[in-house]
Amino acid sequence: MQNRIIGQVKRVNGPVVIASGITDARMMELVYIGDIGLVGEIIKLEEGNATVQVYEDTTGIAPMDNVYGSRGPLSVELGPGLIGSIYDGIQRPLEDLRAMSGDFIARGQKALPISHQKLWSFKPTATLGQEAGPGSVIGNVAENDNVIHYVMVPPKSKGGHITFIETAGDYNVDHVLGRITTENGEEEITMCQKWPIRTPRPSKRRLALNVPLVTGQRVIDTLFPLAKGGTVAIPGGFGTGKTMTQHAIASWCDADIIVYIGCGERGNEMTEVLREFPKIIDPRNGHSLMERTILIANTSNMPVSAREASIYTGITIAEYYRDMGYHIAIMADSTSRWAEALRELSGRMEEMPAEEGFPAYLPTRIAEFYERAGMMENLNGTSGSVSVIGAVSPPGGDFSEPVTQHTKRFVRCFWGLDKSLASARHYPAISWLDSYSEYVNDVRSWWDKKSNGSWSKDTQTIMELLQKEVKLQQVVKLVGADALPDSQNFILEVCRMFKIAFLQQNAFDDMDKYCKVGRQVKMLRIIIRYHELGTEAIKGNVTLVKIRRLKVVQDIARMRGIEDLDKLELRLEHSMKQLGELYE
């Protein structure tokens, strides 16, 4: 903590502190309150007074306590050692804090986000005299067996020629690994960078979103795909499985690095993440999932103001790895709790409330967060992406409340969770009627290449059948299923089969918890082929009862556990052909 006094405490209102006699301070400056040095941020300056948002419990702070300035904004420390770490909302390592103060974090406790003593094996990749601009890579270190950490020239550098490059060896993050000569003199390059959390890291340009983020969840990948660099909201009432859906995506998606932000959720949910993630084996490399995961835990019993900073901390770390050319997936659970923190802070600052007490700038803040996602061409010429998957917890499952409605404006994918599906133990409980994805056309060519062109036609067919089913179900409620002809009852049968055999997924089944792309394509093709052959058979006077009694139809209902799907499809073709010939 720097001892530059910039004012004194005038009034304390929960996490909001009013300081008077302010001199030599600026907006969004990181400050420390009192002798114990509570971390805060100046969010308003007016006639010698400053409003400070404090990220710790302010109990014991009194008028006339000193306020110390830092001359810089709230920033995160970036360097090797982030992977596998667990931080709070302002990037304090929780494991180090526990070692210092026990199970309860002491106020004013400080710890460095990454170790400055640990040695990393540096391998230079740049040469003397080489030109190096912002983002240029001068070398790398192996953060673990899965992640190579690239040592980059900071984005704010003016760039120039390399006049010094360190030889290969073991160094800490503060060791000078290179120097570049610029117009303003020499710049030293180390493994460690700092970046303000509220400022997006720069890139050259945005790229098209045409590659899907494969999650291994069939209802997502097939019906409502998310592109790498895309944004999605997962709204749902209590008990519908928002957190479990995010856990499944974090466990199995093909992102290189996962940033999981527990923002205002219950402590037991984060505990489950901490216990389960180290045990989950990444299907791509056979290592623990924690070797590509960064956790930010800011649970409901932690200071409410730190929730507001936690999502910015997470997305800044994600942008840092994106600059190295990695694909990052952010799980924000949940943005509703973050919005509630904004509402509480706004109320304490006596700002004019808008809808349901939320501040008028809520849509702007939501937009600022989601707009930092994207597939980017980085300053060093590589490409990387940040995909944001934000859970929303509308009170009572009401999707018309402000946070859900404003979020829908800024995301292109919507996975609405259905309470009735969750009650029926249908997981993932993503409603195929309320959900949508605007990335379908963007990723169509990728999927068609993986399926020999069948994906577009098959997904369109099954969505049309699901829409027809809704209308037929309304008729069934009025007159009963017996009043429908077999051709229409068969549509209901196909949709029922699709829900049981395809949309449902068992997270405890080794074969079903993660479904590869090729397997998803085959399973969908079997359902569509069943519809095509069955429709032809019914036109040839085969009864629906006879079709249902086929052994292969019963096997299709259980195909989630069948390994050889090609054989199943051949059996389907053969059985339906035999049935048709019998009636002819």
User: CATH class for domain 4-73?
Assistant: mainly beta
Integer-rounded Cα radius of gyration of the chain: 28
Q: CA torsion angle for 223, 229, 231, 236 (degrees, to 10)?
A: 60
Whether 258 and 293 have beta carbons less than 8 Å apart is answered as yes
Q: Where are the domains of the chain?
A: 4-73, 120-191, 206-439, 451-583
Q: For 120-191, CATH number?
A: 2.40.50.100
Spatial distance between the Cα atoms of 553 and 477, rounded to a whole number of angstroms: 26
Strands 178-182 and 160-165: antiparallel
- Overall fold of domain 451-583: 1.10.1140
pTM value is: 0.93
CATH architecture of the domain with range 206-439: 3-Layer(aba) Sandwich (3.40)
CB-CB contact of 413 with 179 (8 Å): no
User: Encoding tokens for residue 5?
Assistant: 């006094």
pLDDT tens over the chain, length 584 residues: 456 899 999 999 999 999 999 988 999 999 999 989 999 999 999 988 999 999 998 988 999 999 999 989 999 999 999 999 999 999 999 999 888 888 888 888 889 999 999 999 999 999 999 999 999 999 999 998 889 999 999 999 888 899 999 999 999 999 999 999 877 788 999 999 999 999 999 999 999 999 999 999 999 999 999 999 999 999 998 888 888 898 889 888 999 999 999 888 777 777 887 888 888 877 777 778 888 999 999 888 888 888 889 999 999 999 999 999 999 999 998 899 999 999 999 999 889 999 999 999 999 999 999 999 999 999 999 999 999 999 999 988 889 999 999 999 999 999 999 999 999 999 999 999 999 999 999 999 999 999 999 999 999 999 999 999 999 999 999 888 888 999 999 999 999 999 999 999 998 888 899 999 999 999 999 999 999 999 999 998 889 999 999 999 999 999 999 999 999 999 999 999 888 776 65
